[in-house]
Amino acid sequence: AQTVTQSQPEMSVQEAETVTLSCTYDTSESDYYLFWYKQPPSRQMILVIRQEAYKQQNATENRFSVNFQKAAKSFSLKISDSQLGDAAMYFCAYRTTYGGSQGNLIFGKGTKLSVKP
């Protein structure tokens, strides 16, 4: 079974600085999706960025980018020019494309990011 591990329960960053959140996963599959979701205090789950495993190019969305290392099964999120509104829980998630569980998202336990003014 696939697993997702976020080894940093909490992180802190100074406003305008850069921070990287770590995520590793375990799978025997070659085709899958990876996601980062943000959950602010409002508890809304907001998609931050998405990566398809067969694409070698790292996904980028404005100040958010990923470092996808398929062989190492690593999927880190980099937030540049951090803003106060970036403070939230960040969840890494995996989605298979195979078989009957193709719909299932597997989440890590999350990293709580604080942004200091």
* List of residues contacting other proteins (CB under 8 A): 33, 35, 37, 42-47, 50, 91, 95, 97, 100-105, 107, 109-110
Closest CA to 16 of 85, 65, 75: 85
Q: Is residue 92 a contact partner of residue 3, using CB atoms and an 8 Å limit? A: no
∠ Cα 74 22 88 (to 5°): 140
Residue nearer to other proteins on the CB measure, 16 or 98: 98
Q: CA quadruple 13, 33, 69, 25: dihedral positive or negative?
A: positive
Shortest Å, Cβ 45 to other proteins: 4
Shortest Å, Cβ 117 to other proteins: 27
Shortest Å, Cβ 14 to other proteins: 28
Residue nearer to other proteins on the CB measure, 36 or 82: 36
Residue nearer to other proteins on the CB measure, 6 or 82: 6
Closest CA to 68 of 60, 56, 86: 56
Residue nearer to other proteins on the CB measure, 47 or 84: 47
Write the single-letter amino acid at 71: A
